Amino acid sequence: MRDISVSFAATGAIQVVNIATGLLAARLLLPEGRGELAAIMLWPGILAEIRDKKAISDDLKAKMLSAIKEFKDRFSSDRK
């Protein structure tokens, strides 16, 4: 139960810090800097998503090649 409480408190603290930094950035950039704020917030997420998709596809590719090789080995041993 203590682990859940610590995790919940940490998540809450992270959310509070995110709100505070978002408000601070918005105040410092003023209305003219809204595009810069959007870019600052958007691009890291997009780049992380692309990185994750590539890692998943590389992993999936390796698994598929392994399965195909196993199938070929099994099929060729059955024919002998």
CA dist 29 and 40 (Å) reads 11
CA dist 72 and 79 (Å) reads 11
Q: Is the pLDDT of residue 24 over 60?
A: yes
Under the banding of pLDDT at 50, 70 and 90, the label for residue 80 is: low
CA dist 73 and 69 (Å) reads 6
Render pLDDT for 26-67 as a digit per residue (tens, 0 to 9).
888 888 877 777 777 788 888 888 777 777 777 777 787 788
CA dist 75 and 80 (Å) reads 9
Distances from the Cα of 56 to the Cα of 50, 60, 71, angstroms: 10, 6, 22
Strands (E), the chain: none
Q: Where are the domains of the chain?
A: 2-79
Under the banding of pLDDT at 50, 70 and 90, the label for residue 78 is: low
